[in-house]
Amino acid sequence: MRPRTLQISVQMMGMKMPVATVVIQKFADMMKPETELLCPACGAKPAWKAQYECICGKVYRHWSQLKRVVLGTGEEVKQVKLLEGEGPVTASAYVMSLEDFAKYVDATSSEYGVVTKDQASASNLRKLLIAMRNLSKVVLIRFNDTYEERVCVLTTSISNRIILKEIIPLNLAEIKETMRVSLENVTPQEVNEAEQFVKMLPPATEDLLSVNDYRVKGIGKKVSPRVLELEQIIAQVSQ
């Protein structure tokens, strides 16, 4: 999505009431290394045609088969494989206070849904999420992918889905201007003003959560995914 200026408003008594003007943009990007992929046999730069094809006749099906070098210096970058096989990946959990974590940028790269079906895992996940919500802790999960190291935050979405948010590593993040807010010392008056303010907003309906642009053309009937409740998994043992 391109950066946009949004003039947020609400329809009231047949008129539009301005609420706020904000600029939206992706506030961090993953920095791209100044490297290039070359043919390890002749040193030429292969062309991508559903696979990497070199002028010397060599064909490579994956970028990891090529030689990566730094632009300008020609220094070779070793592409170390961090993970073998397709089995479970060992991930390490760490905890940090929210106050300390707020010093850093937690710009996300992608998000992953979390599913577990055994009672012990469900119980421990709940403890970690309680620490996040009630003890102002941040739970960090770190693991190796095939060629890259991943750092994620264990958290919940607005709808309380359990998710892992992969964050852009600090030494790879290109940061743009953004804003942060502290809601620690909210006064009862501010709460009352906020309550009165949102009462003026029209209620959202299910239709609001769907779109009607070109992206929906050709999509068949969807089946709603099942939502697993962590508490139900934990309760199964006591029953």
Q: Is residue 231 part of a domain?
A: no
Report whether pLDDT(57) > 80.
yes
Residue 191 φ/ψ region, left for φ over 0, alpha for ψ in the -120 to 50 degree band, beta for the rest = alpha
Residue 151 structural domain = 83-175
Residue 57 φ/ψ region, left for φ over 0, alpha for ψ in the -120 to 50 degree band, beta for the rest = left
- The pLDDT of 7-26, averaged and rounded, is 77
**Are both 155 and 134 inside the same structural domain?**
yes
Of 129, 144, 175, the position where a domain reaches its end is 175
Q: Is residue 164 part of a domain?
A: yes
Report whether pLDDT(35) > 60.
yes
- Whether 154 and 132 have beta carbons less than 8 Å apart is answered as yes
Catalogue the E-assigned strands of the chain: 4-12, 15-24, 28-30, 35-38, 47-48, 52-53, 59-60, 67-70, 76-77, 91-97, 108-113, 137-144, 149-156, 162-167, 173-175
Residue 228 φ/ψ region, left for φ over 0, alpha for ψ in the -120 to 50 degree band, beta for the rest = beta
Q: Is residue 138 part of a domain?
A: yes
Predicted pLDDT of residue 231: 80
Indicate the pLDDT class of residue 5, thresholds 50, 70 and 90. Answer: confident
Predicted pLDDT of residue 46: 96
Predicted pLDDT of residue 141: 93
Q: What number of H helices and E strands is found in the chain?
A: 4, 15
**Are both 137 and 78 inside the same structural domain?**
no
Q: What is the pTM of this model?
A: 0.79
Q: Is residue 196 part of a domain?
A: no
- Whether 156 and 134 have beta carbons less than 8 Å apart is answered as no
Among 3-12, 57-66, 79-88, the least confident range: 3-12
Residue 92's closest CA among 52, 139, 125?
139
Report whether pLDDT(220) > 80.
no
**Are both 142 and 108 inside the same structural domain?**
yes
Token pair for 174:
């290109």
**Are both 124 and 54 inside the same structural domain?**
no
Indicate the pLDDT class of residue 14, thresholds 50, 70 and 90. Answer: confident
Mean pLDDT, the chain, integer = 85
Q: Is residue 227 part of a domain?
A: no
Helix then strand then coil, in percent of the chain rounded to 5, is 25, 30, 45
Of 175, 202, 226, the position where a domain reaches its end is 175
* Integer Cα distance of 63 and 148 in angstroms: 14
**Are both 51 and 74 inside the same structural domain?**
yes
More confident residue, 39 or 183: 39
Predicted pLDDT of residue 236: 75
70-101 tens-digit pLDDT? 998 889 998 888 888 888 889 999 999 988 98
Q: Is residue 161 part of a domain?
A: yes
114-166 tens-digit pLDDT? 888 888 888 899 999 999 999 989 999 999 998 899 999 999 998 899 999 99
Number of domains into which the chain is organized: 2
Predicted pLDDT of residue 214: 64
Predicted pLDDT of residue 225: 65
